Structure 1
Amino acid sequence: MSEITPVRKHRIAIVPADNPVRIAAVRELFKEYAQSLSFNLCFQSFEEELARLPGEYSPPSGMLLLGLVDDQVAGCVAFHRLEGEMAGKHGDGPQVCEMKRLYVRPAFRGSGVARELIDCLLRCAAAVGYWRMRLDTVPSEMGRAVEIYRKLGFVEIEPYRPNPISGAKYMELDLRAWQRKCGSSQGVTLSLTNAQDLRSH
């Protein structure tokens, strides 16, 4: 009888990029993300974004997260506030944010860190007062991510920002509905003791 090799579970941690070392790690991940795409991110002023990090992702209206797998830097994700026409016009007047720069290094894909990064980001956004999260994506480049978005409850919406890339999709998640569905926080969490409530701004 052959031996059964147990499946090794990875140790995943999600941490805020809240110091120079972590921000530098995010900058490298952002660069890798851009290099992995078949199109140029110049239409998003990507170089300026890199230079200004954390920039619009600064708390309390934004957040930069790092994903660690077995203590190694594996991936990142971020959100920032949307205003004006990009936030849309909702009768209940919620705050709207946008998910950006989800990226996992190839060596860590399949570890579960992408899902943990997104889950943690959603909890962070809800905790500081956002009611909806939007994103734009290119399924031909980011098919696995789109699968995760749909499973979480993101739905396709009309374009809310310019994107010249053919096949770009726009999606939105109702964070309140997502919270009701998920219930209490489980698994990987992130301390939000210093987060401010966006609804007071």
Structure 2
Amino acid sequence: MTISTQRGTTEPRPTDSWAIAPADVGSAEALALLRDYYIDVANSYYRLHLGREGTAEEIETGLAGAPSDDLAPPTGLFLLGRYDGEAAACAGLRVVDATTVELTRVYVRPARRGTGGGKRLMAAIDEAARALGAERIVLDTRLDLVEARTLYTRHGYREIPAYSDRRYAEVWYAKDLVRADG
């Protein structure tokens, strides 16, 4: 959907064209989104700390060292977001224990940012976490991923003490889920 501006040009406008549903984490669409996600966050790191983009070898090595196989039942769930039918966003949930899941691999393709996909994805994450029996969602991220951190805090996540010692984890968040029936 587009809207007219006073100068006669058009600008993209958020629409209700997002559909988010569980998907096979090993599907071609999921793997392409996960690759784009990894390239995006890796290059952010390389630019900040090394002043350059990651090399193809660094990206491939990083991808190989960060499998997403556990984002499938019974250990997790992978959500795929479609914008006008095209795969454009994703998120994963990893079961930590009977009442806690960990959020990971949250990504919206740059061309679809600002169209409401992040908001829709976050709502779908909450719903999927509840369906898994979770009462709490936790996550870790890097300090330089400001847009992601803003998305989390806008959707009820609060900073918590470290619960992991992963190499790139610099800040930890949690969100207590309100039960849909209460």
Contact 2:34/2:105 (CA < 8 Å) preserved in 1? no
1:134 equivalent among 128, 138, 157: 138
Long gaps (5+) in structure 2: 1-5, 47-53
The alpha carbon displacement at 1:71 in A equals 1.8
Pairing 1:175–2:177 present: yes
CA distance in 1, matches of 2:45, 2:11: 38
* Deviations 1:13-67 (CA, angstroms, capped at 9, x unpaired): 112222733433344334334444315999xx752443xx4x2111244111111
CA distance in 2, matches of 1:35, 1:161: 20
Note closer, same or farther for the CA distance 1:23–1:147 as it changes in structure 2 (3 Å cut): closer
2:166 equivalent among 163, 170, 195: 163
The alpha carbon displacement at 1:80 in A equals 0.4
The alpha carbon displacement at 1:175 in A equals 1.0
Pairing 1:23–2:30 present: yes
Q: Normalized against structure 1, the TM-score is what?
A: 0.67
1:74-153 matched pairs, under 5 angstroms:
74-83=88-97, 95-141=99-145, 143-153=146-156
1:181-196 matched pairs, under 5 angstroms:
none
- The percentage of aligned residue pairs carrying the same residue is 27
More strand as a share of residues = 2
What residue in structure 1 maps to residue 50 of structure 2? none
CA distance in 2, matches of 1:129, 1:149: 21
CA distance in 2, matches of 1:104, 1:49: 19
- RMSD of Structure 2 on Structure 1 (CA): 3.0
More helix as a share of residues = 1
> Would you say how many aligned residue pairs link Structure 1 and Structure 2?
162
What residue in structure 1 maps to residue 3 of structure 2? none
CA distance in 1, matches of 2:88, 2:103: 18
Contact 1:97/1:130 (CA < 8 Å) preserved in 2? yes
Q: Partner amino acid for 2:100?
A: V
Long gaps (5+) in structure 1: 84-93, 184-201
Pairing 1:47–2:61 present: no
SS at match of 1:153: coil
CA distance in 2, matches of 1:9, 1:104: 14
